[in-house]
Structure 1
Amino acid sequence: MSMRSVVVAMLGVAIAGGSAIGARHYLAATPAMSAGEPGAPTELVQVIVAARDIPFGMEIQPQMLKAIAWPKEALPPGAVTDAQMLLPPNGEQPRRTTRTIAQGEIVLASKVSGFGEKVTVVQNLAPNTRAMAIKVDAVTAVGGLVTPGDRVDIVLTQGDSTSMRAVTILQNIRIVGVDQKTDERSEQSAVASTVTVEVTPEQGQALALAQKAGTLSLTLRTLDAEPNRQMESVALEDILNAPPPTAVDAPAPEPVRTRIKVRRAGEVETVEVN
């Protein structure tokens, strides 16, 4: 390798290191600002926000963070106010995001791991829930349109051609992974062989039995889907033997009545004749 190449490489490393150190010092030295309406000052404190989108599982680096002023009374619980809490000491392993953090979003302690802590899909689960994979294909997974973060109902179909039956066994279930992809920001759909869902222990037991009993299909819910409700199972014979819709009988026409005038003893009276 020529001396020129060595110098260029060393210069690049020095610039990158200087940028990281500069960002660290900038975050540490940024003062909290104070502002408010005349006569009613608002106390502001420093808070750390994401300078850009930080995907799930990404190492937290100084250039990803930014310090801004925030009203103290509106500070959310767990908000990080010191960048040094997120950046590792020299030689230590970095912290990672356990949730995707959007640009401009306040960094919460609950969304980052410990220093050197391994980040897996477990950190993306709600309390007292489990991740469970189910087998799907292009048809049962809504044509491959299901992505991490979507919510679905799960329908079990079982039986033969003469006694087939379908029933919705689980509702409003969150998809945490499609094959090995867990990034909820991804908008790319693909035909998957498995999807991983977030379920309670009891739902996991029911789902394990249902996979052995028949075929599982996913139905994608809308964002404003109605609350869960009890749904009856549907048999094939219910569909094939359903009676045709009955026609609504038209009301019988009113009989035509004829009115005539009758004069009796100087008085005129109107009578109806059928």
Structure 2
Amino acid sequence: MRIVFILVLAVGVGLAGFAVSIAKDRFDQYQTALAEQRNAILPTVEVVVVNRQVRYGQRITADDVQLIRWPAEHVPFGAFTSLEELFPADDDEPRTVLRLMEQDEPVLLSKVTAPGEDAGVASRLEAGMRALALRVDVTSGVSGFLRPGDRVDVYWSGAGHGGESITRLIRSNVQIIAIDQIADEQRNNPTIARTITVTARPEDVAALTQAQGSGTLTLALVGVGDETISDEVEVSTNALLGEVEELVVEQERVCTIRSRRGGEVVITQVPFCSN
């Protein structure tokens, strides 16, 4: 019996040692996997996002934003990484929203004004650009379907050299920044505008002003994402209609005989005419 007990004890100790060894290997594997996972975690930074939807023209306050962790390598250009950047301590004036932002969307420098500024047209002009108002109607204004942020090609129609009527593309991909007095890019309701405000370089402002004063302007809406710069386009009346040939139709000669019957003159048509 003693020998059997010793054998059973030895087997039990061996099995226990084997189980401990297996458990240790599993634990080591778990520790290694955990360490690899820690090394794989991307570094993050805090980014200011809005905690609700904010629209054009609204003043943004500290109650409208919060800080969240964002992958450090993918922080959007112009994002604010602290509340102090968004709300400077030396300026108590709030910023104004320039573009619609949805909940949890990062607050970007291009989507808000400087502290204390309103959301006027001047705040949306890039360096070296100017704002110019152009007159439009239901035809030239693409039936009212233009909105701030759209881009258009501008065509001029008027008298060319020699007095011939022509239509010419004078500026391509001109950006609209306001419709009448509205600069909100989220405006979707079609309205017949009387004026549009576009952004252009000073030399383009001079060209568009001269064109508007010497002829009529027509706008052609450019598709979203279309960065194509159109080539020079000009169509004249002659080029549109081609050479018009005048067709002269020879009239058939008709011969008649006049005769008098009492006090009445009778005209009778005859089939053949004598020379």
TM-score interval, normalised by the smaller of the two chains: 0.5 to 0.7
Amino acid at match of 1:165: I
Amino acid at match of 1:46: E
Which TM-score applies when normalising by structure 1? 0.67
Given that 2:120 and 2:183 are in contact with CA atoms closer than 8 Å, whether structure 1 keeps it comes out as: no
Report deviation, 1:52. 2.9
Given that 1:99 and 1:124 are in contact with CA atoms closer than 8 Å, whether structure 2 keeps it comes out as: no
CA gap of 1:114–1:176, structure 2 versus 1, over 3 A, is closer
- CA RMSD of the aligned region, Å? 2.7
Q: Select the structure of larger CA radius of gyration.
A: 2
Q: Note if 1:81 corresponds to 2:81.
A: yes
What is aligned with 1:179?
180
Secondary structure of the residue that 1:39 maps to in structure 2? Answer: helix
- Whole-angstrom CA distance in 2 between matches of 1:164 and 1:92: 58
What is aligned with 2:141?
141
Report deviation, 1:77. 4.0
Report deviation, 1:223. 2.2
What is aligned with 1:22?
none
Query: Percent same amino acid at aligned positions?
Result: 33
CA gap of 1:91–1:106, structure 2 versus 1, over 3 A, is closer
- Whole-angstrom CA distance in 2 between matches of 1:202 and 1:90: 39
Report deviation, 1:58. 2.0
CA gap of 1:69–1:225, structure 2 versus 1, over 3 A, is closer
Equivalenced residue count is 208
Structure 1 gap ranges (5+): 1-35, 245-274
Given that 1:47 and 1:67 are in contact with CA atoms closer than 8 Å, whether structure 2 keeps it comes out as: yes
Given that 1:57 and 1:98 are in contact with CA atoms closer than 8 Å, whether structure 2 keeps it comes out as: yes
What is aligned with 2:64?
64
Given that 1:88 and 1:94 are in contact with CA atoms closer than 8 Å, whether structure 2 keeps it comes out as: no
What is aligned with 1:163?
164
Report deviation, 1:229. 3.2
CA gap of 1:97–1:224, structure 2 versus 1, over 3 A, is closer
Given that 1:130 and 1:204 are in contact with CA atoms closer than 8 Å, whether structure 2 keeps it comes out as: yes
Report deviation, 1:127. 2.5
Q: Note if 1:210 corresponds to 2:208.
A: no
Which TM-score applies when normalising by structure 2? 0.67
- Whole-angstrom CA distance in 1 between matches of 2:58 and 2:170: 36
Report deviation, 1:72. 1.7
Report deviation, 1:108. 2.4
Report deviation, 1:190. 0.5
Which deviates further from its counterpart, 201-210 or 219-228?
219-228
Report deviation, 1:121. 1.1
Residues 1-274 of structure 1 mapped to structure 2, 5 A cutoff: 37-87=37-87, 92-159=92-159, 163-225=164-226, 227-241=228-242
Which deviates further from its counterpart, 100-109 or 66-75?
100-109
Amino acid at match of 1:73: E
- The structure in which a higher percent of residues are helix is 2
Amino acid at match of 1:133: A
Report deviation, 1:38. 4.0
Report deviation, 1:61. 1.9
Amino acid at match of 1:194: T
Report deviation, 1:87. 4.1
Given that 1:49 and 1:66 are in contact with CA atoms closer than 8 Å, whether structure 2 keeps it comes out as: yes
